[in-house]
Amino acid sequence: MGWLWVGDAALIFVVIPFVLFWLNKVLRPATEIKKYADDILQHGVALTGTLDAVPKLATTVELTSAARGLVGRYGRALEKLL
């Protein structure tokens, strides 16, 4: 019966604190990873709002190429006048 008490004491004072120590060593990084993942998700969603103007870039490229052609025509007309 005495060995049973020794086994119980070893379980309570040695094994359980050891398990809790290692559980803490595993759970702390896991919670930090979750915080980082939540931060990435929040900023990723905010970033998608700034990408709404991307389809308008094609229109901008077309307008700038058209303006470049018009500037060339304007320059040639000025050369003729001078």
Confidence tier at 6 by pLDDT (50, 70, 90): confident
Decide: pTM greater than 0.75.
no
**Tens digit of each residue's pLDDT (9 = 90 or more) over 56-80:** 888 888 888 888 878 888 888 888 8
Helices within 1-82 (DSSP H only): 2-10, 16-50, 56-81
Give the chain's mean pLDDT: 87
**Tens digit of each residue's pLDDT (9 = 90 or more) over 14-72:** 888 889 999 999 999 999 999 999 999 999 888 888 888 888 888 888 888 888 878 88
Per the structure, the complete domain to which residue 21 belongs is given by 2-81
- Flag whether pLDDT at 1 surpasses 80: no
Cα 33 to Cα 52: distance, rounded to the nearest angstrom: 30
The token duo for 59 is 């229109």
Number of separate domains in the chain: 1
pLDDT of residue 77: 84
